[in-house]
Amino acid sequence: MNHDASAALLDTVQQHVANGLPLRIVGGNSKSFLGRVSESAEEMTTLSVAEHRGVTNYEPTELVMSARSGTPLSLVIDTLKQSGQQLPFDPPQLPGATLGGTLACGLSGPVRPYCGAVRDHTLGTRVISGKGEDLAFGGEVMKNVAGYDVSRVQIGAYGTLGVLLDVSLKVLPLPETTRTLAFEQSEHDCSAMVKLARHFLPVTGAALIGSRRYIRLAGSDAGVQAAASELGGDAVDDAPWDALRDFTHTFFQDERPTWRISVADYTPKLAIPDDKDGSPASVLYDWGGAQRWVKTTLPAQEIFALAASANGHATRFSSASVGDATHQPIEGVAARLQTQLRTSFDPQRLLNRGRFHPELDT
Amino acid sequence: MAANPETVLSRRDKRKQYAAELRALTPTGQILHSDEDLRPYESDGLTLFKAAPLVVVLPASVEEVQAVLKWASERSVPVVARGAGTGLSGGALPHEDGILLGLAKFNQILELNPEHGYARVQPGVRNLAISDAARPHGLYYAPDPSSQIACTIGGNVAENSGGVHCLKYGLTVHNILAIKVVTIEGELLTIGAPGCDDAGYDLMALLTGSEGMLAVTVEVMVKLLPVPPLAKLVMAAFDSVEDAGDAVGRVIAEGIIPAGLELMDNPAIRAAEDFAGCGYPVDAAAVLLCELDGTEAEVEAQIGRVSDVFNASNAKTLHIANSEEERLLLWKGRKSAFPAVGRLSPDYYCIDGTIPRRELSKVLARMDELSKEFNLRIANVFHAGDGNLHPLILYDASIEGESERTERLGSEILQLCVAVGGTVTGEHGVGVEKINEMCVQFDTHTLEQFHAVKAAFDPNGLLNPGKVVPTLQRCAEFGAMHVHKGQLPHPDIERF
């Protein structure tokens, strides 16, 4: 069902701008567990973009799809599949997820280190700024350096730089074949995955779960066959990729909070202290070691310190209580520049106030 | 320049004063301020525009860059940063009342880490030098702009440079991990991270391609990729550009993403063949160069399919490079298309629009009409895989009025690109060159937002002022010109 709700959305935002009232942007509400819960969240008006939906331009041979932000992600994926194509960053397919929410949260699946992130495939966006203006950046073509690359900056900004209305993405063909191999491996040892990343092979996934290392190959039948023979290992039919992508893997059933720590893949095992009750943290390595999922009850500040000491950053990936820290604090000159950037798009801090980095909302 | 002797004198005094102050701030660097020394810096690769800065400063350390920018900020002096000066849009055109900050002395590879797949390099390192240093380890830096032998990584970051292989391997923004930059206030900060992403807003994406308007890059951490074990090049000749364009769409529809997919029209084929003697079929209306890379098994599987597609698209001849030498020679022809065309004509002007590929025939047909209308020849090279079109307008600057006619034709072509859903610049940047056409592509609110983004980083507008984003007043003037269909009503108005 196609519907252009941009005029109504613009009207609502403009009214709130005039009255200085904040807005909570919601697509499918499938990722409500992400981000900070601000003290005033309850009182904020919800701006629902789910009605603004539909694929507006898709020409498979151009490798570009444009769609409204409220378009269900499942519809986007199905439409692409019918033409043998895919979203190259394979985002989480949470029930009800919209395309806009996926981009605003900047989430990419296990394929990310090999085929790029959401931002890498974002070509253009149309957004409503926090000034109530209808803005269009980038375009529908693959190469475009006219003006600042504001479209990519919208990705992962949690809506705080604009309400996404329309987006254009680069899409790619689905591989002919996909195969997953498994290997025995010492726990916490990412070295084999790091080594593999320096070799030219059609790898599209590498994860270490406990003492089992999984490698996914994708490409032409002949290419995958040849790479599989070279690598050895056991062929598996219970590949973990979809479960890792959608946070449904048994690892995520541990009731402790989930943290995502983003570091360079070659970063050694992080020295994460045990919980107060003596339980050790549980760690799962995806993205060849660059995305580490951690289950722990450690206080946020300790996790941030750990991530910072490893030249990375941490984000909480499970529902937080009001006021809990969820994102790595930004400091110094970077904080000033990012705050000024936020100001340039949303001077009154109306869009998703308090949801992202609170230090940028001051 | 104004003839008023007072102005001349004060300019000279200012130059002397700036030079003295900057010399004190850059003890290990170099200051240039004589007319003779400044001349090489008057323009970049776009020689249509020239201006002399007051002083050229070539700092030799990050601390010196910080000191120079802090000084500029305190004195309200415009700063234009420059790498190798190979840019094609005037992005490094000096500001007459400002200083030119040359980063040529930052030419060291600081760290090459083959195990971890990255290199940390200074901004003045040449693009190709990175791959040359990495190759013994079986690695390379993917973006390969045609000027890669001379252009520097700092300039690549500023322009978000691509290259003939970017269809598969992406642009600069996809191949760098982190940058160290100095703000106009002289503060040093790191943007990005050695991992896959960083906290907060994606400033890496914002700064890449920002054309020196937001900060000055002083270090770049680039990704190094494994060299593909095998690369094969298929060359197909066609009797019509339309067939060649269709063939490109069909390759993509087959689910194949070639490493490079380039199209040349007949004038470009002839020029390149004449220049490089690489064996192009000079009687063809269009030639496609299609490179496939990967493991041997992948490449062998794809080469047959691509050949079938070309045959089905009425290719009149098909040739697979027999050797690595021949493959490189065929690429050399393409990469030297610009200088090759330069031999056909005293001057040429390279345009850089991107269009949805399906509009290719329409755009080429309209360009043919424009070529006749303006009485100027056009040769076309086309990054066909990603729709980036480079029409080369042949002209003679010594013929009165021909430069102006060329500029106007270029502007018409860019507006044509926007009209079919494309953009005024695919990879060369806006610089000073396409600033008027930005008014055609973006509306008032969006242009104002660009100005606001600039102000977030550079509140007093000292970094590369007057480039990239037009003032609304300028757009009003440019808009007025269009009412008159390209006939300039006020030729004396400063347009660039």
- Residue B210 in contact with partner chain A when CB distance is under 8 A: yes
pLDDT at B472 over 80: yes
> How many whole angstroms separate alpha carbon B326 and alpha carbon B331?
9
Give per-residue pLDDT as tens, B156-205.
Answer: 999 999 988 999 999 999 999 999 999 999 999 999 999 999 999 999 99
Which residue of B191, B199, B421 is in closest CB contact with A313? B199
The beta strand positions in B281-383, using DSSP E, are 286-294, 317-320, 347-350, 353-354, 377-383
Q: How far, in whole angstroms, is CA B232 from its chain's centroid? A: 26
At B486, the pLDDT band (50, 70, 90 cuts) reads very low
Distance CA(A278)–CA(A124), nearest Å, equals 49
| pLDDT per position as a tens digit, A117-126 | 999 999 999 9
CB contact under 8 A, B195 and A290: yes
pLDDT over 60 at B5, yes or no: no
What is the chain A residue with the closest CA to B206?
A149
- The domain segmentation of chain A, as residue ranges, is 6-173+336-360, 176-326
Helix (H) or strand (E) holding B207: helix B203-207
Dist. CA B349–CA B419, nearest whole Å: 21
Chain B nearest-CA distance from A173, in A, is: 5
**Least CB–CB distance from B297: residue in A106, A225, A311:** A225
- Mean pLDDT, range B303-307, rounded to an integer: 95
Tokens 């290259």 belong to residue: B163
Q: What is the pLDDT of residue A112?
A: 98
- Give the nearest chain A residue to B215 (CA atoms): A337
What is the pLDDT averaged over residues B375-399? 92
Question: With a cut of 0.85, is the ipTM above it?
Answer: yes
C-alpha to C-alpha distances, A351 to A25, A29, B46, B205, B456, nearest whole angstrom: 7, 16, 42, 21, 18
Task: Output the pLDDT for position B478.
Answer: 82
* Contact of A143 with B383, CB cutoff 8 Å: yes
Whether the per-residue pLDDT at B341 is higher than 90: the answer is no
List the alpha helices (DSSP H) in A184-331.
191-196, 221-231, 241-245, 300-309
In CATH terms, the fold of domain A6-173+336-360 is 3.30.465
- Over residues B103-132, mean pLDDT: 98
Give the N- to C-terminal CA distance of chain B in Å, as an integer: 15
Query: What's the pLDDT at B430?
Result: 95
A42 band by pLDDT with thresholds 50, 70 and 90: confident
What is the rounded CA–CA span in Å between residue A160 and residue A322?
A: 19
Contact B445 A176 (CB under 8 A): no
**pLDDT value for B483:** 32
Residue B485 structure tokens: 């269909």
Condensed to tens digits (0 to 9), the pLDDT of residues B233-267 reads 999 999 999 899 999 999 998 889 999 999 999 99
Which of B189, B206, B213 is closest, CB to CB, to A332? B189
- DSSP secondary-structure letter at A351? B
Return the structure tokens found at B159. Answer: 């322009």
Instruction: Please return the burial class of A320, using the count of CB atoms within 10 Å of its CB with bins 0-12, 13-18 and 19+.
Output: middle
Bridge partner residues of B220 (DSSP): B121, B179
Of A63, A143, A315, the CB nearest to B252: A63
**pLDDT on residue B488:** 37
Give the best residue of B423, B438, B454, B457 to mutate against chain A (max A CB count within 10 A).
Answer: B423
pLDDT of B136 > 90? The answer is yes
How far off is chain B from A266, nearest CA to CA, in Å? 7
Q: What is the pLDDT of residues A254-303, one digit of tens each?
A: 999 999 999 999 999 999 999 999 999 999 999 999 999 999 999 999 99
Residue of A60, A141, A226 with shortest CB distance to B387? A141
- Mean pLDDT (chain B) is 92
Select from A121, A141, A304, A338 the residue whose CB has the most chain B CBs within 10 Å, as the one to mutate to test that interface. Answer: A141
Report which DSSP code applies to A356.
S
Instruction: State whether the Cα torsion B294-B300-B305-B311 is positive or negative.
Output: positive
- Contact residues, chain A, for B443 at CB < 8 Å: 136
Asked if A200 contacts A114 with a C-beta cutoff of 8 angstroms, the reply is no
pLDDT at B28 over 60: yes
The amino acid that residue A317 corresponds to is: F
Q: Which of the four pLDDT bands, split at 50, 70 and 90, describes residue B6?
A: low
The fraction of chain B above a pLDDT of 70, given in percent, is: 95
- β-pair partners for A327: A315
Here the tokens at position B104 are: 């040529």
Task: Using pLDDT thresholds of 50, 70 and 90, give the confidence band for residue B361.
Answer: confident
What does the buried/exposed string (b/e) look like for A61-88 if buried means 16 or more CB atoms within 10 Å of the residue's CB?
A: bbbbbbbbbbbbbbbbbebbeebebbbb
Instruction: Write out pLDDT tens, residues B33-74.
Output: 999 999 999 999 998 899 999 999 999 999 999 999 999 999
Contacts of B255 in chain A (CB under 8 A): 84, 173-174, 176
pLDDT in tens, A173-193: 999 999 999 999 999 999 999
Residues of A in contact with B423 (CB under 8 A): 139, 141, 143-146
How many inter-chain contacts (A to B, CB under 8 Å) are there? Answer: 266
* Per-residue confidence (pLDDT) for residue B343, from 0 to 100: 85
Q: Is B248 helix (H, G, I), strand (E, B) or coil?
A: helix
Distance of CA B181 to the CA centre of its chain: 20
Mean pLDDT of chain A: 97
Quick check: A146 and B438 CB within 8 A?
A: yes
Residue B254, token pair as written in the block: 């087959």
Instruction: Confirm or reject contact between B455 and chain A (CB < 8 A).
Output: yes
Cα–Cα dist A60/A88, whole Å: 14
* pLDDT at residue B9 is higher than 70: no
CB pair distance less than 8 Å for B170 and A120: yes
Interchain contact, A119 vs B205, CB within 8 Å = yes
Preferred mutation among B248, B360, B432, B449 to probe A, highest tally of A CBs within 10 A: B449
Structure tokens at B339: 């200088």
pLDDT digits (tens, 9 = 90+) for A298-330: 999 999 999 999 999 999 999 999 999 999 999
Q: What is the CA radius of gyration of chain B?
A: 23
Which residues, at least 6 apart from B487, have a Cβ–Cβ distance to it below 8 Å?
B481
What confidence score (pLDDT) does residue B484 get? 31
First vs last C-alpha separation in chain A:
40
Residues A207-219: pLDDT tens digits? 999 999 999 999 9
pLDDT at B487 over 70: no
> At B86, phi and psi to the nearest 5?
-95, -5
Mark yes or no for CB contact A146/B442 under 8 Å: yes
Q: How confident is the model at residue B481 (pLDDT cuts 50, 70, 90)?
A: very low
Q: What percent of chain A has pLDDT over 90?
A: 97
- Residue B372 touches partner A, C-beta closer than 8 Å: no
Which of A142, A222, A315 lies closest to B386 in CB terms?
A142
In the predicted model, is pLDDT for residue B110 greater than 60? yes
Q: What's the CA angle centered on A178, arms A174 and A183, to 5 degrees?
A: 150
Whether residue B156 lies within 8 A of chain A, CB to CB, comes out as: no
Per-residue pLDDT for A331 more than 50?
yes
pLDDT band (50, 70, 90) for residue B2: very low
